[in-house]
Amino acid sequence: MNRPTIAAFIVLAGLVTASSAYADDPLPSWNDGAAKKSILQFIARVTQEGSPEFVPPAERIAVFDNDGTLWAEQPMPFQMFFAFDRVKAMAPQHPEWKTQEPFASLLKGDVKAALAGGERAVGQLLMATHAGMTSDEFQKSVTDWIATAKHPQTGQLLTEMVYQPMVELLTFLRSHLFKTYIVSGGGIEFIRPWSERVYGIPPEQVIGSSIKTKFELRDAKPVLVRMPDINFVDDGPGKPVGIQMHVGRRPIAAFGNSDGDLQMLQWTAAGSGARFCLYVHHTDPVREWAYDRNSSISRLDKGLDEAKAKGWTIVDMKADWKRVFAFEK
Amino acid sequence: MNRPTIAAFIVLAGLVTASSAYADDPLPSWNDGAAKKSILQFIARVTQEGSPEFVPPAERIAVFDNDGTLWAEQPMPFQMFFAFDRVKAMAPQHPEWKTQEPFASLLKGDVKAALAGGERAVGQLLMATHAGMTSDEFQKSVTDWIATAKHPQTGQLLTEMVYQPMVELLTFLRSHLFKTYIVSGGGIEFIRPWSERVYGIPPEQVIGSSIKTKFELRDAKPVLVRMPDINFVDDGPGKPVGIQMHVGRRPIAAFGNSDGDLQMLQWTAAGSGARFCLYVHHTDPVREWAYDRNSSISRLDKGLDEAKAKGWTIVDMKADWKRVFAFEK
């Protein structure tokens, strides 16, 4: 074998390493600074053979919040857009919605009035659109919708509203044999149909909130029916519970952007050996959005204080990211 | 590179194939017969490039029941032995158990009387020994116990009571890039501490029954506390639900031994493309145990009929397995 052949063989064998695939920079959308440096140093500490803090590949678990950490979440979590569009699509089969809130307002195009009912209204919209069908049917409805759904302000596909620096980070971690998980307050079955294509994260590495499902034989055909009952809320103190349920090991790295991720970061940080916790801080009102302590969506208040006190990495999106979205010039 | 170097390189790269690693026989503890043949044919059909039924590696999900499918379950599921031993170990901290059933009988050594209370008694024994501690503490208690726990009749370590033909099958499937999962009616956290060592199945690929857990900060230290409430029963119609929750894809191969596995096999069989379903039939009262339609543990009745009607593979342990346990001569 000559040298080029051997090189090709190594790549084919999946043994892509930082030195071969990222000859220049594994994180090109990150500006050089403390955040980027802390990431590179942590990965080196836990993956270099002979390092006193070396972690075997099987234990390299990294967990990522989704909304606001891997993709945008303004003006509201994108799963709500799915619910709205499904209400419109399902309306012909539900004539009663014409006079029944929150559906009536939504069908008239008044989102604000529809959401005036708060959590109860959101719950009704979610259950009406996420329950009552089989798991296969729901998966198809998400797959079809996400293929064309666009952001109301940027006009970009929602799947283009992902943070390019975080996609690079996911890839970089996996090239160092980390297993990357999503741990989202959003619906587990809402994320799975597109997480592999968009993030390289397969369905079995998605953890999220869920409703109950029930096995049934329909005309001798087995189906899983989605029921209008909450099964699990994967947010705040639920995140470590969800991680333990699905992974059964404590992560060594955790990434979030709100107080709802704080317990996940605390749980990760409290393990023995090298640990890495990072908060994405939304500080860029021009390229993205700026919000933290007073936001109604994904408030980052206690988490920001704890991150500072404990020396966790805080990403200043404006300063630390060369590029936020891949579609930027 | 000379030829031996290249060969070594391929093996190191994880590209072990049937032809290199299993020059002779990938399933040496299986007698040649219809069951073994059906396994080999299925794996070839879904893994050979160019096969009309080729399945990409990411979709090669294989699910295995544990008790009675991967290891023995007589005279009762081994997790009960753990509960009994824990009751004895915990008794000094529970003086009230001296007069309280089912604990009192168990502490006197009368298992039959202790279990006379049926499901309620079993539930009390399980909750008393599986709840009330942190997840880390429970994991340690299982790890410590399983290191020395022996079978009351064979005197072998319980981790030696695994079926050697099934361990070979797990290894063979993984060498063909299958992801192997346990889907057990037993406790998920009871199996995880030893599944990697004994079966090569990591904790994140174990699905099982569970109790609720709760995140708490104790003196600023985050813990997951195990609560005395059922969270999920991963048995019968629960198995497809558990698989969807943890994997998010339908398996292409399923292995069980009782009616409690039937829905898992139905769910697997109902997918499109090549599918494989197998029942282990306990027919060997000499080397193992013989039981099926009238057994109180792991009854195999409806499943046996359905397997015959649908042409699923039925393993006759006595005839199909050259060796049941590795410790046999």
- Contact status of B242 with chain A (Cβ, < 8 Å): no
Q: Give pLDDT tens digits for A81-116.
A: 999 999 999 999 999 999 999 999 999 999 999 999
Distance from CA of B57 to the nearest CA of A (A): 12
Interface test with B, best of A217, A246, A252 (most B CBs within 10 A): A246
Work out the angle at residue A61's Cα, subtended by the Cα atoms of residues A55 and A62, and round it to the nearest 5 degrees.
Answer: 120
A17-26, B128-137, B257-266: least confident range: A17-26
pLDDT value of position B329: 75
pTM over 0.90: yes
> H/E element holding B179?
strand B179-187
Q: Give pLDDT tens digits for B91-102.
A: 999 999 999 999
- Counting one residue from A and one from B, how many pairs have CB atoms under 8 Å apart? 93
Q: Give me the percent of chain B exceeding a pLDDT of 70.
A: 93
**Of A179, A202, A266, which has the smallest distance from its Cβ to B222's Cβ?**
A266
**Of A13, A246, A263, which has the smallest distance from its Cβ to B222's Cβ?**
A263
Nearest CA-CA partner of A295 in A264, A259, A265, A321: A259
- Contact status of A133 with chain B (Cβ, < 8 Å): no
- The model's confidence at residue B32, banded by pLDDT at 50, 70 and 90, is very high
CA B125 to chain centre: 22
The answer to whether the beta carbons of residues B265 and B311 sit under 8 Å apart is no
Q: Does B4 score more than 60 pLDDT?
A: no
Q: Give pLDDT tens digits for B147-201.
A: 999 999 999 999 999 999 999 999 999 999 999 999 999 999 999 999 999 999 9
Interface test with B, best of A16, A204, A235 (most B CBs within 10 A): A204
Residue A289 amino acid letter: W
pLDDT, mean of residues A12-34: 69
pLDDT value of position B17: 45
Chain B hits for A193, Cβ within 8 Å = none
- Contact status of B322 with chain A (Cβ, < 8 Å): no
- The model's confidence at residue B24, banded by pLDDT at 50, 70 and 90, is confident
Q: Do B246 and A204 touch (CB under 8 A)?
A: yes
Q: Give pLDDT tens digits for A152-209.
A: 999 999 999 999 999 999 999 999 999 999 999 999 999 999 999 999 999 999 999 9
Q: Give pLDDT tens digits for A207-234.
A: 999 999 999 999 999 999 999 999 999 9
- The model's confidence at residue A23, banded by pLDDT at 50, 70 and 90, is low
Q: Give pLDDT tens digits for B294-322.
A: 999 999 999 999 999 999 999 999 999 99
Nearest-angstrom CA–CA distance, B262 and A169: 42
Residue A19 phi/psi, 5-degree rounding, is -70, -30
At residue B241, the 3 state secondary structure works out as: helix
pLDDT, mean of residues B218-230: 96
Q: Give pLDDT tens digits for A34-62.
A: 999 999 999 999 999 999 999 999 999 99
Distance from CA of A213 to the nearest CA of B (A): 6
pLDDT, mean of residues A18-28: 68
CA A211 to chain centre: 18
Mean pLDDT of chain B: 93
Per-residue CA distances from A9 to A2, A3, A5, B15 (Å): 11, 10, 6, 12
pLDDT value of position A24: 84
CA-nearest residue to A265 within chain B is B222
CA-nearest residue to A179 within chain B is B204
pLDDT, mean of residues B196-223: 97
- The model's confidence at residue B9, banded by pLDDT at 50, 70 and 90, is very low
- Contact status of B213 with chain A (Cβ, < 8 Å): yes
> H/E element holding B181?
strand B179-187
DSSP A223-243: EEEEEEEEEE--STTHHHHHH
Interface test with B, best of A140, A241, A306 (most B CBs within 10 A): A241
B13-27, B47-61, B253-267: least confident range: B13-27
- Contact status of B266 with chain A (Cβ, < 8 Å): yes
Paired tokens of A300: 């980052």
Q: Which residues pair with A277 in a beta bridge?
A: A254
Nearest-angstrom CA–CA distance, A318 and A294: 19
- Other CB atoms within a 10 A radius of the CB of residue B267 amount to 24
CA-nearest residue to B12 within chain A is A13
- The model's confidence at residue A254, banded by pLDDT at 50, 70 and 90, is very high
The answer to whether the beta carbons of residues A193 and A181 sit under 8 Å apart is no
- Contact status of A248 with chain B (Cβ, < 8 Å): yes
- The model's confidence at residue B23, banded by pLDDT at 50, 70 and 90, is low
pLDDT value of position A167: 98
Angle formed by the axes of helices A78-90 and A135-146, to 10°?
A: 110
pLDDT value of position A55: 98
